[in-house]
Each structure stands twice: as C-alpha cells, then as structure tokens.
C-alpha cells in the first residue's frame, strides 16, 4: 500500500511528541512492507529516518508573511523565493517550538478553513505535486490543525484521508477567544472531508468526541516503539530519576526539580541522581535558569543534556531508574512513557489526562500535581523494592503487548484497508 503522510516540521532542538509519533508510524508501516512517502510542510524534516523525498510545501516564513503582511493574498514570486530561502527557514526552525499560538491566529485559521488566496496558492502546488508524482492509496494528515488541506485534496482527488488527533486544544485554546471559537467550529465544518480519525489514547478519543459532536469514526492506535532498540540490562549504579521531554514549565520540570531537592534534603534515598534531557528552544532559556537555581544546592547530582537529537532516546532510558514528567496539562499520550517502558523503566506521574490509561500498573500515579506529592510517590517507588520490581515487570510486558511498533503498524494497516 502506498501511504502519503503530511507532516509539519517543528525544528529539531527538542523532543516534539507529535513529530516523534509521526516518525514512529512511518517506521512501523515501512517495516510491514508499505511504501510511505513523507511530505513536510512549514519546516524541513531533517532526521534521516523520515526519508523525506518531496519538496517543502507551505514554507513557514513565506506563508506567515503572506498571512501577516499581505492580508492572506498571494505574494510576488520574487518575495516568495526570498522568504523561502534555506537561511530564513533555518532561522525559523531555531525559533520554532512555542506552545502558544499568540501571533499565529491568522495562519492557524487559514490552515483549518482552507479558503483564502494565500492558502489556495500553496495548496494548489501541493495537490499538483500529488497528481503528477505520487498518487497514494491513503493520505494521512498529522493533525486536525491541517484539515483545510484535506478539504482541498478531496475537491481534487478521490483519495481516502485519515487524520491524527492529539492535543489540538494545547494550541487552539491559547488563541484569542474569538479565534479559538472559530477554529473549533471550522474543524467541525471540515470533518466531512476525513474518512477516519486516529487518536493515540482512549482518553483523547473521549476529548475529541466532546469537542466535535459530528465525529463518528475515531480509532485508537497507541504509539508503537521498536522495543529491540530500548531493551537494556545496563542500568545505573545509583537510583536515577529521568526527565525526557521538552524542558519547559508546561511539562513540569520545575515541579520535578523541587521534588528532587526535597528528596535530597530528606536523605531517604542514598546517592539519588537526576538526569534531564529532551532539549529546549530559545524561549525556554530563562525558565531553565530558574530550574538550575532551584537545583543549585545539589547540582553535582544533576546531569543536563543540553544537546538534543532523536538518536539519544534509547540510550537515555538505559541510564535512568524511573521516568517522571509531571505535566501541567492533560496530554493525549506521553510517548516518553512508551519508550521508557520498553527499557523497563517505571513511571511516576500525576493522575491526570491520559496518564492513568497509559501508565496503568507500570509505576505510581499521585494526586495533586505538586512537589510534595511527587516526592512522596518517588520515595515510595524507590524504597519499596517489591513495588518497584512489579512496576518494572509490568512496564516490559505492556511495551510488548501495547506499545509495540508491530501492534501499531498492523492496527494502522487495518484502518487504511477499510477505505482503500
């Protein structure tokens, strides 16, 4: 089967959950023998595993300029060429990664509604490329934030379209209220152009059903990891807490830092260490300074990985004893958990969002997402050996039966074949 994935680039300086999920889906499908074509929009996708063979569509710098300064009209050709230069795109990639849509309202609505002249200019280039180069059996769009592209494709071609759903509200609900209301309504209006939606957890399927009352067809496909890359018997000599996600306030790094300091002061867990990875953007630097200030008394027991690449993932989990990313929002799925479980690392997470579903008995869930509750949960897991070993065993088992690329690839194939 020939599958076209339309994926937004988001730079490569930090762990992007949706980007990594798309990468995992593509890899799983290729291993099952499918031909997978990756089509990037906004920013280039640099990692070699994505095997991008198409041009870049909707270049971020050009499309933003058209929306912001040309009132959604098509720009002169020479200006399109200048704004889409590799240098400007590289700069945009270095600045990308905000979780706030402030200043991006017009661009967001343009991609959802799919009607203004600037959008039509770029989507025409995209649809023409599909017609003339690769006519796939299935098109899979990364997010409902791109649903305007589905609308344009279906008007030109009779190709089934699948659309992933994951954490759209994290972006949309930071829009100005009138824009957010319009965004949700316009996604609902364009649901008719999608044959099937795919959520990465039952939790987020339920969120989507409440947001979009017209949706009838949502399948759950849990993320699938190549577990052979993560299996390891080389664990750290000292008890080590791991944080592996973008290093920002939303992901609760300051909460974990405060919990770590509490545990060190109590001296209940001898030689306790903290390892922090996952990268960050320029917008996160001031927050990181505050985190380091919190950790200052115990910095000798803390390791920061300031450079990020997807190649780090498997090795990171072999160097920690448990994973904790105390998110301050409700996330559709935590891919870092699926990875950690494959390495036999249990989790300590707040009992919010998808965590009860994703973690299950592979760790400890705690009430009230604060440093006090988190430190108590970590202490329990480390000091009760039977509890810890049971969580390790459950993590390994769940990674085989649920968070396995073979399982997710076969589930996606089953979904695609319904519409082929």
Q: What is the pLDDT along the chain (420 residues), one digit of tens a residue?
A: 999 999 887 655 565 767 778 888 999 999 999 999 999 888 877 655 556 678 888 888 888 788 777 767 777 777 777 676 666 666 565 555 544 566 778 889 999 999 999 999 999 999 999 999 878 999 999 999 999 999 999 999 999 999 999 888 888 888 887 898 999 999 999 999 999 999 999 999 999 998 887 888 999 999 999 999 988 777 888 999 999 999 999 999 999 999 999 999 999 899 999 999 998 888 899 999 999 999 999 999 999 998 888 788 889 999 999 999 999 999 999 999 999 999 999 999 999 999 999 999 999 999 999 999 999 999 999 999 999 999 999 999 999 999 999 999 999 999 999 997
8 Å CB contact between 12 and 278 = no
Structure tokens given for 131: 């017609």
d(CA 396, CA 360): 12
CATH 3.40.50.2000 boundaries in the chain: 2-224+405-417, 227-401
CATH of domain 2-224+405-417: 3.40.50.2000
Strand order in the sheet with 347-350: 302-304, 273-277, 240-244, 322-323, 347-350, 363-366
d(CA 247, CA 263): 21
d(CA 197, CA 219): 6
Structure tokens given for 84: 């889409």
CATH superfamily name and code, 227-401? Glycogen Phosphorylase B; (3.40.50.2000)
Residue written as token pair 């509200």: 169
Q: What is the pLDDT of residues 258-298, one digit of tens each?
A: 999 999 999 989 999 999 999 888 889 999 999 999 999 99
8 Å CB contact between 38 and 73 = no
């Amino acid at each position: 089967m020939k599958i076209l994935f339309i994926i937004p680039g988001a730079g490569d300086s930090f762990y992007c959950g949706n980007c990594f999920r798309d990468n995992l889906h593509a890899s799983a499908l290729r291993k099952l023998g499918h031909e997978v074509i990756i089509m990037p929009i906004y920013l280039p996708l640099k990692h070699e595993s994505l095997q991008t063979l198409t041009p870049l569509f909707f270049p971020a710098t050009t499309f933003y300029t058209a929306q912001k300064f040309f009132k959604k009209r098509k720009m002169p050709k020479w200006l399109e060429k200048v704004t889409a230069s590799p240098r400007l795109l590289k700069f945009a990639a270095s600045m990308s990664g905000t979780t706030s849509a402030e200043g991006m309202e017009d661009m967001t609505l343009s991609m959802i509604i799919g009607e203004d002249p600037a959008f039509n200019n770029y989507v025409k280039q995209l649809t023409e490329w599909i017609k003339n180069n690769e006519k796939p059996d299935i098109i899979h769009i990364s997010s409902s934030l791109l649903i305007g592209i589905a609308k344009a494709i279906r008007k030109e071609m009779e190709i089934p379209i699948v659309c992933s759903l994951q954490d759209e509200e994290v972006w949309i609900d930071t829009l100005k209220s009138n824009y957010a209301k319009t965004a949700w309504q316009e996604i609902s209006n364009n649901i008719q152009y999608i044959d099937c939606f795919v959520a990465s957890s039952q939790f987020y399927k339920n969120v989507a059903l409440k947001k979009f009352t017209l949706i009838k067809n949502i399948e759950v496909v849990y993320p699938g990891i190549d577990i052979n890359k993560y299996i390891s018997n080389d664990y750290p000599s000292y008890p080590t807490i791991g944080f592996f996600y973008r290093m920002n306030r939303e992901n609760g790094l300051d909460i974990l830092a405060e919990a770590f300091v509490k545990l060190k002061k109590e001296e209940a867990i001898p030689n306790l260490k903290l390892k922090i990875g996952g990268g960050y953007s320029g917008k996160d630097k001031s927050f990181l300074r505050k985190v380091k200030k919190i950790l200052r008394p115990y910095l000798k027991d803390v390791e920061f990985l300031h450079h990020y690449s997807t190649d780090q993932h498997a090795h990171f989990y072999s160097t920690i004893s448990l994973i904790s990313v105390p998110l301050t929002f409700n996330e559709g799925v935590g891919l870092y958990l699926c990875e950690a479980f494959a390495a036999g690392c249990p989790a300590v997470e707040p009992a919010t969002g998808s965590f009860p579903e994703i973690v299950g008995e592979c760790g400890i869930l705690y009430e009230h997402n604060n440093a006090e509750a988190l430190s108590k949960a970590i202490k329990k897991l480390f000091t009760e050996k039977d509890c810890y070993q049971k969580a390790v065993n459950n993590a390994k088992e769940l990674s085989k039966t649920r968070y396995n690329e073979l399982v997710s690839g076969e589930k996606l194939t089953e979904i695609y074949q319904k519409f082929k």
